[in-house]
Structure 1
Amino acid sequence: MKKSTVTEIRERFDNEVERFSNLETGQVATMDAKIALELITCTARAIKPEAKTILDLGCGAGNYTLKMLSKVPDLECTLIDLSQNMLDKAFERVSEATTAKVETIQDDIRNVELPDNKYDIILAGAVLHHLRDDSDWELVFQKLYDSLTPGGCFFISDLVTQDHQAVNQLTWKMYGDYLKQHGGSEYQQKVFDYIEKEDTPRSMTYQLDLMKKVGFSSTEILHKNACFGAFGGIK
Structure 2
Amino acid sequence: MSDTPKQDNLFASPLGNVPRFAFDEAVVDVFPDMIQRSVPGYQTIINLCGELAARYVQPNSNCYDLGCSLGASSLAIAQQVNQPGVSIVAVDNSAAMLSRCASVLEQGQTTAKIELVEADICDIEISNASLVVMNFTLQFIAIEKRQALVEKIYAGLNPGGCLVISEKLLFEPESLNQLLSELHHQFKSAQGYSDLEISQKRDSLENFLLPETLETHINRIKACGFNSASPWFQCFNFASLVAIK
Shorter-chain TM band: 0.7 to 0.9
Using the size of structure 1 for normalisation, the TM-score is 0.84
Q: Match for 2:180 among 171, 185, 200?
A: 171
1:15-54 aligned at under 5 Å gives the runs 15-21=26-32, 27-48=36-57, 50=59, 52-54=61-63
Structure 2 partner of 1:83: 94
* Residues 70/179 of structure 1: CA separation in 2 closer, same or farther (3 Å cut): same
Q: Which aligned pairs between 1:177-188 and structure 2 lie closer than 5 A?
A: 177-182=186-191, 183-188=193-198
1:215 alignment counterpart: 225
Q: Map Cα deviations across residues 10-35 of structure 1 (whole Å, 9 max, x no partner).
A: 9533432243347xx95321111111
The answer on 1:102 being equivalent to 2:108 is no
**Hey, what's the Cα distance between the residues in 1 that align with 2:183 and 2:77?**
30
Note closer, same or farther for the CA distance 1:41–1:185 as it changes in structure 2 (3 Å cut).
same
Residue 170 of structure 1 aligns to a residue whose secondary structure is helix
Cα deviations across residues 129-170 of structure 1 (Å, max 9, x unaligned)? Answer: 11223x311011111111212111110222111132221111
Query: In the superposition, relative to structure 1, how do residues 9 and 69 fare at CA in structure 2: closer, same or farther (>3 Å)?
Result: farther
Equivalent residue number for residue 129 of structure 1: 139
Compute the RMSD of aligned alpha carbons: 2.5
Mapped partners of 2:60, 2:161: distance in 1: 8
- The one-character-per-residue Cα deviations of 1:98-145 (angstroms, maximum 9, x if unpaired) are 4454322222222x13143x2111111111111223x31101111111
Asked if the contact 1:121–1:148 (Cα under 8 Å) also holds between the matched residues in 2, the reply is: yes
Percent identical pairs in the alignment equals 21
Q: CA separation of 1:34/1:203 partners in 2, compared to 1, >3 Å: closer, same or farther?
A: same
| Unaligned 5+ runs, structure 1 | 1-7
Q: Which one has the largest radius of gyration? A: 2
Count of aligned pairs between the two proteins: 223
Structure 2 regions of 5+ residues with no counterpart?
A: 1-18
